[in-house]
Amino acid sequence: MHIVLYEPDIPGNTGNVGRTCLATGSKLHLVGKLGFSLDDQHVKRSGLDYWEKVNVVKHKSWDEFLSTIPLNAGLYFFSKKARQDYWEAAFQPESYLVFGCETTGLPAVFHERYKERFFRIPMVQDSVRSLNLSTSVGVVLYEALRQVRHLSGVTV
């Protein structure tokens, strides 16, 4: 699996996501402007002593990221604004799970261009504004791995 963080701005979340990626054998893609340096101590503290082992790739822009993936790559986007629940997604091996910035989410152009590929994590109405980014990544990533474990032979 591939985790894609679009312009993340909280270093601790990125560190936690990196640790989850390492635990699952997933690649972490950081796309666009980051709200911190990858040398930030908060990233390294959250990633613990594992950060150096994380398979992380930095992409300057969304277009640059797209140029590095297969044309028919399984792109799945996650937003609290989506109408479909994440368990309605039919994940494939080597899927790209795309999450937006903690404070602004994914750009409107993504919602327009990829509207059929947007999913949400259901929450009790009027309970919380959103889930933490690293929590959201973990919830979705493990569901994706559960779905494809028989197809790909992946065991976590």
Please state the pTM of the whole predicted model: 0.91
105 and 78 Cβ atoms separated by less than 8 Å? no
Residue with tokens 């493990």: 142
Mean pLDDT, the chain, rounded, equals 89
pLDDT of 88 strictly over 70 = yes
Average pLDDT estimate for 28-40:
86
Residues 6+ apart with CB under 8 A from 126: none
| pLDDT given at position 98 | 98
pLDDT of residue 48: 60
Residue 104 has pLDDT above 90, yes or no: yes
